[in-house]
Amino acid sequence: GLQFPERLNCATELLDQAVARGWGDRPCLHAPGLTWTYAELLAQANRIARVLVHDMGLVPGNRVLLRAPNNPMLVACWFAVVKAGGIAVATMPLLRAKELVAILDIAQISHVLCDAALAEELDLARAQSPWLRAVRTWGSAPGAAEALEPAMQAHPSHFDNVDTAATDTCLLGFTSGTTGVPKATMHFHRDVMAICRCWPEHVLRPQAGDVFIGSPPIGFTFGLGGLVLFPMHVGASSVLLEKASPPLLLDAVQSFGATVMFTAPTTYRALAPQGALLRGTRLRKCVSAGEALPAATRALWKDATGIEIIDGIGATELLHIFISHDEASVRAGATGRAVPGYRAKVVDAEGRDLPPGQVGRLAVQGPTGCRYLADPRQTQYVQNGWNLTGDAYVMDADGYFFYQARTDDMIVSAGYNIAAPEVENALLAHPAVAECAVIGVPDEERGQIVKAFVVLKPGESGDEAMVLTLQTFVKQTVAPYKYPRAVSFIAQLPRTATGKLQRFRLHALHEGNMAAKPG
Ligand code: 3UK
């Protein structure tokens, strides 16, 4: 089992100890035109920690909002906060003032460290916060008020980390908002070390020479783990990209010689046509999380690059991945098995265990788990000591878990249970389809019907003939009653900043269209 001492600061373990172990001269973080060694990152983090404590009045337990695209300074700020015993609240770069106001309020943020490139929305938000005491910005014009760098230069580059308890909170993760209302999850120093030990040691098995890369923001715990914590835990390095659209990511994998990539299924689909360019590069491991990985996407990527994707389901509430598989134990259509350290099962509506083969709610238990910050939804997520992730899964006799849908995305049509992703996967296999999303919409006769929103590949036309083609195609690959009775073509799907489909927006779109129709 995982044992941690009573006093533990995860910044000490991951950063100070890395240098103490003799990794100081190893590369730690890369960005275009820049590499920081472990020793350089430590020195930067120490100076920032001194600014936080001596200039900004931070005391242990204060919450510090971090706002930046993925870059080395963001990582230095994250460690500075944790070193000083504060609570890091890394946020999604795309958030606007309105969303920032909600976070400043929910998390009772007292301090902010912000990249000047993203200061505008913060300036709109900060006036509305009663808790905020001090802000520093980096990368601003020389002489700017609240500039971080001159303050850093006024301090020495050593700092004695605050002696925190293993069960002190060190970070707040905000959930990605597929349903709109954000929740903050609390995680301890111990939890950070636990996720470094579980999935990476048993599934990813990275080495010191690995170069990590990927698209998820550090404000999303998928990115924090994959691009910061996991590489540093083994003395490897990580490439941080401020913009990581599929073509930029592809270029960066090539130019930085990346070996381990983290991204979401949509990116693998978008990159697959150029995937052959990755043959002969150093890339050897590709991780997918955030959304279910369709079997067709796995096959597409394998054909293009020769690489078997490592799928894994994680959640902000559990901090990182808890069901996954390595390249050698892929089972078609399955997310994988419980990561060593975690237990997973499928339960019915009353929380009773279901046998293999039956669809139910996924329940997970392990070294990390959900602690919402002052939110009544805590008792929905954690019941009888098990975390209910809101996903419908089925387990086979060997303990492999097969994703069905979000519990809310099970469609009941004329008495049939239909999982939206199953229809989506069937549609995705058609060569004209680039992306698609399926919802259940109200229907007088059948209760609900399956409606598909389809993004076509360039050059395809969304006419009546295409609707028929797609409907016929689905009927040929899955049970005919699952075919989409309504098909609507759209230019792009609504997604969260983490790349997750927002089905609630499609429901709103459908209702809007219905209301607009005369009669
Ligand atoms: C869904 C998946 C099927 C699932 C996350 C890795 O996604 C992360 O956290 P979020 O809080 O969302 C959690 C929900 O997303 N999901 C994620 N991965 C998969 N569904 N297959 C997958 N591989 O509905 C889950 O409940 O945004 C992912 C690491 C850290 C994370 N926070």
What are the backbone dihedrals phi and psi of residue 223, each rounded to the nearest 5 degrees, phi first? -75, -40
Nearest ligand 1 atom to the CA of 226 is 29
CA distances from 410 to 176, 357, 380, 426, 453 (A): 20, 17, 18, 16, 16
Q: How high is the pLDDT of residue 417? A: 85
What ranges in 284-340 are assigned the alpha helix state H?
295-305
Residue 204 CA from chain centroid, whole number: 17
Q: Pick from 183, 188, 56: which is nearest to 113 by CA?
A: 56
For residues 389-402, average pLDDT = 97
DSSP H/E element including 268: helix 265-271
Q: In DSSP terms, which residues pair with 437 in a beta bridge?
A: 453
pLDDT at 413: 87
Q: How far is the CA of 334 from the centre of ligand 1 (A)?
A: 14
Report CA(317)–ligand 1 centroid distance (Å): 10
Distance between CA 119 and CA 112 in Å, rounded? 11
pLDDT score recorded for residue 176: 64
> How many angstroms separate the alpha carbon of residue 88 from the centre of ligand 1?
21
Backbone angles phi, psi at 452, to 5 degrees: -110, 135
From CA 453, how far away is CA 355, in angstroms rounded? 34
List beta partners, residue 289. Answer: none
Out of 229, 291, 311, 504, mutate this one to test ligand 1's pocket (max ligand atoms within 8 Å of CB): namely 291
> With contact defined as beta carbons under 8 Å apart, do 292 and 424 qualify?
no
| Cα atoms in the Cβ-side hemisphere of radius 13 Å centred on 281 | 26
- Contacting residues for 3 by C-beta, under 8 A, at least 6 apart: none
Using an 8 Å Cβ cutoff, are 132 and 126 in contact?
yes
| Size (the chain), residues | 519
Helix-strand-coil split of the chain, %, nearest 5: 35, 25, 40
- In ligand 1, the atom with minimum distance to the C-alpha of 362 is 26
CATH of 28-187, one of 3.30.70.2190, 3.90.1300.10, 3.40.50.12780, 1.10.10.60: 3.40.50.12780
Strand order in the sheet with 211-214: 34-37, 27-31, 237-239, 211-214, 260-263, 285-288, 310-314, 321-324, 337-338
Residues of the chain with CATH 3.40.50.12780: 28-187
Positive or negative: CA dihedral 54, 57, 61, 62: negative
Instruction: Report how far residue 394's alpha carbon sits from residue 399's, in angstroms, rounded to the nearest whole number.
Output: 10
Predicted local distance difference test score (pLDDT) of residue 498: 78
The pLDDT of residue 84 is: 98
Tens digits of per-residue pLDDT, 40-60? 999 999 999 999 999 999 999
Residue from 76, 66, 67, 69 nearest 29 by CA = 76
Query: For atom 3 of ligand 1, which residue has the closest CA?
Result: 292
Q: Two tokens at 226?
A: 């994959």
ipTM above 0.85, yes or no: yes
> Residue 519: its pLDDT value, please?
42
* C-alpha–C-alpha distance, residues 69 and 117, integer Å: 9
Among residues 227, 226, 269, the alpha carbon closest in space to that of 246 is found at 269
List, in sequence order, every residue forming a beta bridge with 322; answer none if it has no partner. none
Identify the pLDDT of residue 518: 57
Which of 203, 230, 316, when mutated, tests ligand 1's pocket best, judged by the most ligand atoms within 8 Å of its CB? Answer: 316
- 405 C-alpha vs ligand 1 centroid, how far in Å? 12
Phi, psi of 300 (to 5 degrees): -60, -45
Q: How many other C-beta atoms are found inside a 10 Å radius of the C-beta of residue 24?
A: 16
Placement of tokens 């902000």 in the chain? 316
221 CA distance to ligand 1 centroid (A)?
10
Test site for ligand 1: of 224, 297, 313, 335, most ligand atoms within 8 A of the Cβ: 313
Atom 6 in ligand 1: residue holding the nearest Cα: 314
Q: For residues 450 and 442, what is the distance between their CA atoms, to the nearest angstrom?
A: 9
H and E: helices and strands count for the chain: 18, 25
CA distance 433 to 111: 46
CA of 316 to the centre of ligand 1 (A): 8
For the CA of 176, the nearest atom of ligand 1: 27
Lowest mean pLDDT among 421-425, 440-444, 498-502: 498-502
CA-498 nearest atom, ligand 1: 27
Q: Are strands 211-214 and 386-395 parallel, antiparallel or unpaired?
A: unpaired
pLDDT at 47: 98
The DSSP element (H or E) to which 39 belongs, if any, is: helix 38-50
pLDDT band at 415 (very low <50, low <70, confident <90, very high): confident
Q: For residue 142, is pLDDT > 90?
A: no
For range 11-35, the mean pLDDT: 98
33: left (phi over 0), alpha (psi -120 to 50) or beta: left
Q: What's the half-sphere exposure (Cβ side, CA atoms, 13 Å) at 335?
A: 27
Output the CA 274–ligand 1 centroid distance in Å: 26
State the closest ligand 1 atom to the C-alpha of 311, by its place in the atom list counted from 1: 23
- Which amino acid would we find at residue 512? G
The phi, psi pair for 91, rounded to 5°, reads: -120, 165
pLDDT at 171 over 70: yes
Distance, CA 360 to ligand 1 centroid (Å)? 17
The average pLDDT across 211-234 equals: 98
**How close is the Cα of 320 to the center of ligand 1, in Å?**
8
Q: Tell me how far the alpha carbon of residue 248 lies from the centroid of ligand 1, in angstroms.
A: 24
Q: Provide mean pLDDT across the span 474-498.
A: 92
Please tell me the residue having the least CA distance from ligand 1 atom 21.
292
Among residues 253, 250, 205, the alpha carbon closest in space to that of 230 is found at: 205
pLDDT digits (tens, 9 = 90+) for 62-117: 999 999 999 999 999 999 999 999 999 999 998 889 889 999 999 999 999 999 99
Give the pLDDT score at 87.
Answer: 98
Nearest CA to ligand 1 atom 2: 291
Q: Which two tokens stand for residue 263?
A: 């991204």
493, 453 contact by CB (below 8 A): yes
Does 178 have pLDDT greater than 60?
no
> What is the Å distance from ligand 1's center to 44 Cα?
32
Please report which residue ranges of 161-215 form alpha helices under DSSP H: 189-197, 199
- For residue 39, give every residue at least 6 positions away whose Cβ sits within 8 Å of its Cβ, in sequence order, or none: 19, 24, 25
**Tens digit of pLDDT for each residue in 276-332?**
999 999 999 999 999 999 999 999 999 999 999 999 999 999 999 999 999 999 998
Q: What is the pLDDT of residue 19?
A: 98
Q: Which CATH architecture has domain 414-516?
A: 2-Layer Sandwich (3.30)
**Extended beta strands in 9-84, E state:** 27-31, 34-37, 63-67
- Per-residue pLDDT, 301: 97
pLDDT of 343 > 90? The answer is: yes
Question: Mean pLDDT in the chain?
Answer: 95
Quote the ligand 1 centre to 153 CA distance (angstroms): 40
Tell me, what's the pLDDT at 322?
98
Higher pLDDT, 296 or 162: 162
Rg (CA), the chain: 23
Q: Helix, strand, or coil here: 304?
A: helix
Please, where in the chain does CATH 3.30.300.30 lie?
414-516
Nearest CA to ligand 1 atom 27: 176
The two structure tokens encoding residue 20: 């103490």
Spatial contact of 37 and 26, defined as CB atoms under 8 Å apart: yes
Tokens 């939206």: give the residue.
420
Query: What lines the ligand 1 site, CB under 6 Å?
Result: 175-176, 221-222, 289-293, 311-316, 320-321, 335, 389-391, 403, 406, 498
Say if residues 136 and 113 touch (Cβ distance below 8 Å): yes
Q: State in Å: Cα 389 to ligand 1 middle.
A: 9
**How high is the pLDDT of residue 182?**
83
The protein residue whose alpha carbon is closest to atom 28 in ligand 1 is 314
